[in-house]
Amino acid sequence: MWSNLCKSLNRLNQREGVLVSKVCFRQLHSSDVHVCPDGLYPGHIRTTAMQKALLAVGSGVAALQNPYRHDMVAVLGETTGHLALINLRDRMRNDHEGNAVLTERPRIRLSTLDLTKMASMPDGTFGREYLRFLEDNHVTPDSRADVKFVDDEELAYVMQRYREVHDLLHTLLGMPTNMLGEVAVKWFEAAQTGLPMCTLGALLGPLRLNTSRLQSLFTSLGPWALRNGWRSRCVLSIFYERRWEQSLEELRQELNIEAPPVTLSVKVKREKWRRKSNSGTADKNVDNPETL
């Protein structure tokens, strides 16, 4: 049954490029689902508990089939993360800087970044190293999908902030966007956020690593990521937009994050991504996936 379901989901994803899987596609278009033009926030889709469960199962299966389907991973995160989002929101409220983020609702987009100014900053500053990460890994902050299925306006922003901070975490942790780097970041995020999506990614991500990378993960990067995720300050409570000129090392110390134990090289497999893009399984920002 699961095999047939996975095949159906994969065919649907390739043919139509929709954000939901076949198991919940009909549910999303039933009379019980309300797209709210004047609802909780722009783009919000109101769903019942049953529809959220179907979305979670369908998107989870699709994401397991292809962990680079960041649209499926996004739906999975939104439909399973309610309790974790409440905890993250409360941690932000109890932090002076985090509360300012919740109040002012900044967004990390190309339209809000001064890339020219970042490029002129000295090496080692957070802004310059973040821009270097974007350039070296061929990624863009604009690839993060907008939240749709979180039925609370403030929690929806917390989820959006988490997505947009993801690339900043890569910079803080010194991790590239290859599979080993993504898994290491997911281990950090699982310990830091408690989001089920991150925990699932942390558990299943290693299955896609070869023996040498598994050894590096389990003996070095993994323990480092978990330790720092548990003990560091809430990474969503930082007003990063006001920290671009700060030293990266100084910001790490403030957050209680250790420098990475090993340095991973940046290797972008462009031909593989091009094939994915041409087959319809990835969007134009194929080098910036939100992976399981």
167 among annotated binding-site residues? yes
State the burial class of residue 213 (Cβ atoms within 10 Å of its Cβ: 0-12, 13-18, 19+): middle
- Is 166 annotated to bind a ligand? Reply is yes
Residue 250, φ and ψ in degrees, nearest 5: -65, -40
Tokens 């080692």 correspond to: 124
Q: What is the largest CA-CA distance in the chain?
A: 56
* DSSP states of 93-135: HTSHHHHHHHHH----SGGG--HHHHHHSPTTBHHHHHHHHHH
DSSP output for 25-39: HHHHTSTT-EE-TTS
Would you tell me the crossing angle of helices 153-173 and 70-80 to the nearest 10 degrees?
130
User: Rounded distance, CA 14 to CA 282, Å?
Assistant: 9
Annotated binding site: 166-167, 170, 182
Annotated binding site for Zn(2+): 166-167, 170, 182
